Chain A
Amino acid sequence: MAISIAPYTADWIPAVKAFNQRMAAGGVGAEFRFPESNIPHWLPEFDGRTIYQRYYLAVDGEQVRGAFILKYQEFRLGQDPAKIVYYHLPLSEGIVNKSYSSVGVLMLRSALKMEPSLYCLGMGGFDRPLPTMLKALRWSMCAVPFYFHVEHPSRFLQEVQPVRGTPLRRLLADAGAFSGLGWLAIHALQTIRSTRPLLEATAEPIVNFDDWADALWARCAQHYPLIASRESRVLNVLYPAGKSFLCYKVSRGNDLIGWFVALDTQMKDNKYFGNLRIGTIADCLAIPENAGAVIEAAQAVLTNRRVDLVVANHSHKGWGSAFKAAGFFEGPSNFIFAASTGLSDRLGPFPEVQHQIYLMRGDGDGPVNL
């Protein structure tokens, strides 16, 4: 039976459940289960909504052999609105049954046929199967830099797993944590690295994004060659009131200069962060000149909440400089951006543009695992 791509309708739910069971039986982890509802829990498609997801299946007769998700979202590419689509959670039965080795390629090629301007984000590192496949297809790829600021050095040294990778490193980290030398060293390093004067920005909590956010978007979008729409109608869908998002607008004097969305998460036996309390700057917006003030405001809010570590991913070079000027360290990143050749052609020379595009953890599949 030939495999074809079909929209996920309710009729397919039993076949998706059977697909998930075969994948689980083959040793695929629970995080790689395809949703067993055809209506997306996150970003379902409604009339008039500009940000939504569609689920697709690779079907073989009455069986499902693969699945993927396309997230549709408006972007600003240069000065123009553009439809750029996020390809995610591609699952192929080829992982557990080599008879279906072609399904991964089939799904990707089918998605590209539907939407030539595709991108992927996250993926866990360049060496994973999907980035390997994308590299073969000559997608343009880069890591979105990861920045962190240690608020509680002793706990950082006791909990952050990459710091404690070997017995010797664990011994040194524990010695640093318990003697106070670690606190002294990290505090000194962050202070020395912090080069900017206090920018005296104030943060005010908000419940919803409103006209002020649209006015800010109108001022900011032109500064970034590729940025997902951050209009209020989109932000209120992505960061709805009543969830765990900490949404603030940032002002200097009477001037509204930006906003940020943060998360305050108590980790539990996390493979990177152990049991630290992590403050994440998941999303934010300002013109590049005001990046430092927004970062300072977000960091102050998270520090007051007594997080152990503040983290962020940001692709824009100017924002990266602002993070470093605020004393943040840049750490290894496994948060990968990949642009299809169709998207790359629209972007221009990738080595030049990759540091100007605007991507954070709030993009792609949102601030998951945080």
Chain B
Amino acid sequence: MTSSPILDRVSAIAADVLQVPASSLSLQSSPETVESWDSVRHLDLVLALEQAFHLQFEPEEIDQMKNVECIVDILSAKAPKR
């Protein structure tokens, strides 16, 4: 997985929320590939990311969070607006 500051932070947060090793996550990691990634954990992940990045996601952005790569893309797009 190519490293970037946002990706590293997302991986660390996702690993913590989903209770999996960060090394097991890739850009393509998603609810379909990570067993613990259910609806409640998805919310936990959204909230943890909002807290860490000091922002709030719009409902449509939450829908776009299909996998780690999408999350990084959304955060990359939002970050400069802050």
Task: Determine if chain A interacts with chain B.
Answer: yes
Interface size on A, residues (CB 8 A): 24
B64 touches A98 (CB 8 A): no
Nearest Cβ in chain B — how far from A238, in angstroms? 31
Kindly identify which residue among A2, A98, A108, A113 contacts B38, using a CB–CB cutoff of 8 Å. Answer: A98
Q: Which residue of B lies closest to A65 (CB)?
A: B63
Per the bound structure, the CA–CA distance linking A110 and B57 in Å amounts to: 11
Cβ-defined contact, B44 with A94, below 8 A: no
Chain A residues within an 8 Å CB radius of B65? 102
Measured between beta carbons, the chain A residues less than 8 angstroms from B44 are 136
Interface flag for A193 (CB, 8 Å) = no
Contact in complex: B39, A109 (CB < 8 Å): no
Query: Whole-angstrom distance from the CB of A35 to the nearest CB of chain B?
Result: 22
What is the predominant secondary structure among interface residues of chain A facing chain B? helix
Cβ of A163 under 8 Å from chain B: no
* Contact residues in A for B46 (Cβ distance below 8 Å): 105
Interface string of B16-48 (1 = CB under 8 A from A): 000000000000000110000111111110110
A354 near B: Cβ within 8 Å?
no
Q: Are A102 and B63 in contact (CB under 8 A)?
A: yes
A sample of 20 inter-chain contacts (CB < 8 A) reads A2-B64, A94-B38, A94-B42, A95-B39, A98-B32, A99-B31, A99-B32, A101-B31, A101-B38, A101-B39, A102-B65, A102-B66, A103-B39, A103-B63, A104-B43, A105-B46, A106-B62, A108-B43, A133-B39, A137-B43
Chain B residues whose CB sits within 8 angstroms of the CB of A303 once the complex forms: none
* Neighbouring A residues of B66 by C-beta, 8 Å: 102
Contacts of A137 in B (CB 8 A): 43, 47
CB distance from B16 to the nearest CB of A (A): 14
Cβ of A267 within 8 Å of any chain B Cβ, yes or no, is no
Q: A2-B64, A133-B39 are in contact. List 6 more A-B contacts (CB 8 A).
A: A94-B38, A98-B31, A98-B32, A98-B38, A101-B38, A101-B42
Contact check: which of A95, A101, A110, A129 meets B59 at CB < 8 Å? Answer: A110
Q: Residues on B close to A: CB < 8 A?
A: 31-32, 37-44, 46-47, 57-60, 62-66
* Closest Cβ neighbor of A132 among chain B residues: B40
Cβ-based interface call for A202 (8 A): no
The CA of A272 and the CA of B57, in the complex, are separated in Å by 41
Q: How far in angstroms is the closest Cβ of chain B from A194?
A: 44
A104-B59 in contact (CB<8A) = no
Distance in Å from the Cβ of A56 to the closest Cβ of chain B? 12
Interface presence of A5 (CB below 8 A): yes
| Complex Cα–Cα for A105 and B60 (A) | 10
Q: Which residue of A lies closest to B33 (CB)?
A: A98
Q: Which A residues are CB-close (under 8 A) to B41?
A: 101
Contacts of A142 in B (CB 8 A): none
Residue of A nearest to B56 (CB): A109
Which residue in chain B gives the minimum CB-CB distance to A113? B59
Q: What are the interface flags for A133-156 relative to B under an 8 Å C-beta threshold, 1 for contact and 0 otherwise?
A: 100110000000000000000000
Contact present for B42 and A104 (CB under 8 Å): yes
Docked Cα-Cα span, A64 to B44, in Å, equals: 24
Is B43's CB under 8 angstroms from A136's CB?
Answer: yes
Interface status of A92 (Cβ within 8 A of chain B): yes
Q: Which of A2, A5, A95, A105 has the most CB of B within 10 A?
A: A105
- B39 and A94 contacting across the interface, CB-CB below 8 Å: yes
The contact string, 1 if C-beta is below 8 Å from chain B, for chain A 1-44, is 01111000000000000000000000000000000000000000
List residues of chain A with CB within 8 A of the CB of B57: 109
A113–B64 Cα distance when bound, in Å, is 18
B59 contacts across to A, CB distance below 8 A: 5, 106, 109-110, 113
Q: Give the chain B neighbours of A110 by CB distance below 8 A.
A: 59
Task: Report A-chain residues with C-beta under 8 Å of the C-beta of B62.
Answer: 102, 105-106, 109
Report B-chain residues with C-beta under 8 Å of the C-beta of A129.
39-40
Q: Please indicate the chain A residues that have their CB under 8 angstroms from the CB of B31 in the complex.
A: 94, 98-99, 101-102
A136 engages B32 (CB within 8 Å): no
Q: Is there an interface contact between A4 and B60, defined as CB atoms closer than 8 Å?
A: yes
Alpha-carbon separation in the docked complex, A137 to B39 (Å)? 13
Judge whether A105 and B43 touch: CB under 8 Å: yes
CB pair A2–B42 under 8 Å, yes or no, is: no
Tell me whether B42 and A3 are in contact (CB under 8 A): no
Distance between A111 CB and nearest chain B CB, rounded to angstroms:
9
CA distance A99 to B67 in the complex (A): 10
